[in-house]
C-alpha cells in the first residue's frame, strides 16, 4: 500500500480538520514536497495541528518525516515508463528514457500558452508595465523565484521593478504605491492571503494583475486582470516536474509584447 492509499484508507478515522488536510493531499500530493505545513494548512482549510496529528496517525513522528517519505514516493512515481516514446533526431532513433520524456511534458504545457501571445490580456499587462513608474512583482514560497525573475528581466530592459516576497513588506508597499505603479502577483494557487494586499493597492488606484494556474480562486475578484497559465503539477499526480519554467516562459512572452509595443509607431 503506497502513501496515498494509506491516507485514503484512514479517512473514516479522521476528524473533520484532519480529513480536510488528507483529502487535499490526495488531490495535490506535490504540495507536500514543495511547501511548508503552514501553506498546506491554509490551502486545505485545516490547521497545522491537524497536519501533525494526521502524520502521526500515518505512523510518522512529524511533518518533516512525512514530507521526506512523500518526496521519495513522488520521485518514484515520476520515473519514465519502460517503453518510452520513439523520437528521431537527424535521422537517428533516440532512446527517450528520462530526458526526452521530461522535455515532451514541458513542451506540451508551454505550447498551451501559445494563445497568450498577442492576446488582449498580455497586451493590457504590457501597456501597464510600459507606462508604470514602478512594477511591483509579488510572490511567496516557490513562486517568489518567479517574481524575482520577472523583476530582474524587467530591470534588464530598463523598466523599474521591485520584487517583494515577504508578506510584511507587502503590507508596507500597500501604503506607498501610487496610481502610477503596477503590481503583478505570481501565484500557482491564487493564494487568498494576497486579498488584503490587493485591497490596499486598490485603495491607492494601483492596477493589480494576477498570473496564476488556478482559474477559480477568490483572489480573482480583487485584481484587475487574471492571466491563467497551464499547471504541470496538477495535470497528473505522478509528475515530479516543476511549474516555474512555465512562469519563466510567460515572462519572456510579456517582454516580447513590451518590445513589440515599443517599436510600434
Please compute, for residue 141, the number of CA atoms within 13 A of its CA located in the half-sphere on the CB side: 18
The pLDDT of 163-183, averaged and rounded, is 93
The pLDDT of 72-86, averaged and rounded, is 57
Confidence class for position 142, pLDDT limits 50, 70, 90:
confident
The SS3 assignment for 210 reads strand
The pLDDT of 130-149, averaged and rounded, is 94
In this predicted structure, what is the pLDDT of residue 221? 93
In this predicted structure, what is the pLDDT of residue 81? 44
The pLDDT of 155-181, averaged and rounded, is 93
Q: Compute CA distances 147 → 141, 183, 251, 263, 265, whole Å.
A: 10, 11, 9, 26, 31
Confidence class for position 61, pLDDT limits 50, 70, 90:
very high
Residue 47: is its pLDDT beyond 50?
Answer: yes
The pLDDT of 30-39, averaged and rounded, is 83
> Percentage of the chain surpassing pLDDT 70?
87
Residue in this structure with the C-alpha cell 519554467, named with its chain if needed: 245
Residue 255: is its pLDDT beyond 50?
Answer: yes
Pairwise pLDDT comparison (160 vs 109), residue with the higher score: 160
C-alpha cell at 248: 519563466
In this predicted structure, what is the pLDDT of residue 80? 47
Gap between the terminal Cα atoms of the chain: 64
The pLDDT of 69-78, averaged and rounded, is 76
Whether the CB-CB separation of 239 and 105 falls below 8 Å is answered with yes
Model pTM? 0.68
Residue 1: is its pLDDT beyond 70?
Answer: yes
Least-confidence region, from 177-181, 183-187, 261-265: 261-265
pLDDT averaged over the chain? 85
C-alpha torsion angle, residues 125, 130, 132, 138 (rounded to 10) = 50
Structural domains of the chain, with CATH: 3-77 (1.10.10.10), 109-263 (3.40.50.10490)
Residues contacting 240, CB < 8 A, separation 6+: 30, 33, 74, 75, 77, 78
Least-confidence region, from 44-48, 107-111, 171-175, 194-198: 107-111
Amino acid at each position: 500500500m503506497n502513501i496515498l492509499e494509506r491516507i485514503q484508507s484512514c479517512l473514516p478515522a479522521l476528524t473533520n480538520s484532519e480529513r480536510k488536510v488528507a483529502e487535499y493531499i490526495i488531490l495535490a500530493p506535490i504540495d507536500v514536497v514543495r511547501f511548508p505545513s503552514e501553506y498546506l494548512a491554509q490551502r486545505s482549510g485545516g490547521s497545522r495541528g491537524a497536519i501533525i496529528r494526521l502524520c502521526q496517525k500515518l505512523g510518522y513522528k512529524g511533518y518533516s518525516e512525512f514530507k521526506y517519505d512523500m518526496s521519495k514516493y513522488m520521485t518514484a512515481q515520476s520515473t519514465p515508463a519502460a517503453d518510452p516514446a520513439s523520437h528521431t533526431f537527424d535521422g537517428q532513433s533516440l532512446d527517450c528514457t528520462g530526458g526526452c520524456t521530461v522535455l515532451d511534458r514541458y513542451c506540451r504545457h508551454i505550447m498551451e500558452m501559445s494563445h497568450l501571445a498577442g492576446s488582449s490580456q498580455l497586451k493590457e499587462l504590457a501597456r501597464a508595465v510600459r507606462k508604470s513608474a514602478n512594477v511591483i512583482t509579488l510572490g511567496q514560497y516557490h513562486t517568489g523565484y518567479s517574481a524575482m525573475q520577472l523583476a530582474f528581466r524587467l530591470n534588464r530592459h530598463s523598466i523599474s521593478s521591485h520584487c517583494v516576497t515577504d508578506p510584511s513588506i507587502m503590507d508596507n508597499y500597500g501604503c506607498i504605491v501610487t496610481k502610477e505603479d503596477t503590481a503583478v502577483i505570481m501565484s500557482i494557487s491564487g493564494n487568498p492571503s494576497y486579498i488584503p494586499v490587493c485591497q490596499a493597492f486598490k485603495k491607492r488606484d494601483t492596477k493589480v494583475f494576477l498570473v496564476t494556474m488556478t482559474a477559480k480562486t477568490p483572489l480573482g475578484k480583487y485584481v484587475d486582470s487574471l492571466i491563467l497559465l497551464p499547471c504541470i503539477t496538477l495535470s497528473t499526480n505522478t509528475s515530479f516536474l516543476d511549474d516555474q519554467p512555465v512562469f519563466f516562459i510567460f515572462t519572456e512572452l510579456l517582454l516580447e509584447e513590451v518590445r513589440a509595443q515599443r517599436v510600434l509607431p
